[in-house]
């Protein structure tokens, strides 16, 4: 069951790490449009020239626990199709599962059943939307759960989600969580038997925040397992998603590394705290990324 994730580039033909792609496909995360109705957010994102969205399942857009969830999914699928937008499904909603505890319960908690149900529903919604991937993460280890128990719960939980998924899963290393870097992701992947259905969601900002390797080398290190990429600026040692140019990342080499890696999936802007100025931030972001890609030259 090991080996790279099999996937097809929307630009045509199979994506094979190391063969390169002609250009990248930029998307925008709907968690950065939390104050917009979903239809209107998608319209703005498409009008600005993005080719896809990272759709966070949440109260304000598609709520997987709503009585009319099926209708919401069908409407979103129609809108995505009409606008020609690709989609990945994100599961980082803050208070969807518990109004008192941010991101809780996770796969690590004693009461993790609702998280498992959420991830099962997310996988089903991903299939209904024709999503390129469904992305999720470990969560922060609760103080009352010892490290060994937390890790066992994580492995078991991810295995259960894999058993329900018919779309690629992208597991995201997140600073401060039980799986916070690429090395942690590799350990999880190996303990699960290196399943072909479990890839990596790589947040470019996180690489700058805490990985030892330069960001382009992080991309190359996991190229064969990439199923989802989030992009934002960040500073070393500070987990804060910043607009492009406000952090420390040199983006042309990063975009070149993604192209060289043969990554044909979405590269989605991840600015979840910028909804107050979403259209302007999204416009600045696509202009920056387009200019940065143009500055990188040919794939070598």
Phi, psi of 198 (to 5 degrees): -115, 105
d(CA 40, CA 261): 34
Q: What is the arithmetic mean of pLDDT over 146-171?
A: 97
∠ CA(114), CA(118), CA(120), 5° rounding?
115
pTM: predicted TM-score of the whole model, two decimal places: 0.91
Name the nearest CA neighbour of 109 among 68, 138, 80, 69.
138
Q: Do the beta carbons of residue 123 and residue 166 sit within 8 Å?
A: yes
Pure H helices in the chain: 38-47, 69-83, 113-129, 147-164, 182-191, 204-210, 215-221, 251-260, 278-294
- pLDDT, position 19: 66
- The pLDDT-based confidence of 286 (bands split at 50, 70, 90) is very high
DSSP per position, 69-104: HHHHHHHHHHHHHHHT-EEEEE---SSSS-SSSTT-
Mean pLDDT in residue range 254-258 = 98
What is the overall mean pLDDT for the chain? 93
What pLDDT was estimated at residue 20?
86
Q: What is the pLDDT of residue 300?
A: 38
Q: How far apart are CA 28 and CA 88, in angstroms?
A: 10
pLDDT for 16 beyond 50: no
**Contact in structure between 23 and 51 (CB atoms under 8 Å):** no
Q: DSSP H helical segments within 165-202, as ranges?
A: 182-191
Residue 87 pLDDT class (50, 70, 90 cuts)? very high
User: What pLDDT is attached to residue 14?
Assistant: 33
Percent of the chain with pLDDT over 70: 92
Which stretch of DSSP H or E encloses residue 56? strand 52-56
Q: Which residue has the tokens 């090395």?
A: 183
pLDDT value at 6 more than 50: no
Residue that the structure tokens 């099926």 belong to:
70
Q: Which two tokens stand for residue 236?
A: 């070393």
Q: What is the pLDDT of residue 295?
A: 84
């Amino acid at each position: 069951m090991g080996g790279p994730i099999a996937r097809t580039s929307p630009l045509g033909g199979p994506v094979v790490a190391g063969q390169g792609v002609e250009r990248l496909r930029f998307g925008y995360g709907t968690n950065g449009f939390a104050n917009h109705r979903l239809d209107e957010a998608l319209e703005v994102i498409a009008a600005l020239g993005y080719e896809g969205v990272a759709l966070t399942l949440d109260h304000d857009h598609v709520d997987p626990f709503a009585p009319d969830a099926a209708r919401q999914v069908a409407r979103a699928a129609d809108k995505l199709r009409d606008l020609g937008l690709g989609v990945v499904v994100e599961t980082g909603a803050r208070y969807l599962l518990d109004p008192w505890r941010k991101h809780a319960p996770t796969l690590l908690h004693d009461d993790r059943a609702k998280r498992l149900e959420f991830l099962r529903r997310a996988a089903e919604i991903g299939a209904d939307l024709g999503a390129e991937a469904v992305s999720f993460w470990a969560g922060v280890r609760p103080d009352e759960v010892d490290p060994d128990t937390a890790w066992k719960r994580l492995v078991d939980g991810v295995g259960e989600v894999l058993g329900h998924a018919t779309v690629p899963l992208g597991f995201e290393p997140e600073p401060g969580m039980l799986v916070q870097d690429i090395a942690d992701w590799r350990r999880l992947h190996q303990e699960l038997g290196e399943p072909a259905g479990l890839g990596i969601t790589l947040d470019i900002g996180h690489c700058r925040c805490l990985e030892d390797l330069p960001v382009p080398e992080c991309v190359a290190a996991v190229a064969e397992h990439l199923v989802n990429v989030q992009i934002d600026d960040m500073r070393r040692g500070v987990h804060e998603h910043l607009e492009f140019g406000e952090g420390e990342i040199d983006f042309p080499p990063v975009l070149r590394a993604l192209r060289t890696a043969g990554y044909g999936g979405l590269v989605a802007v991840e600015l979840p705290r910028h909804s107050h100025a979403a259209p302007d931030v999204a416009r600045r972001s696509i202009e920056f990324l387009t200019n940065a890609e143009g500055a990188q030259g040919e794939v070598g």
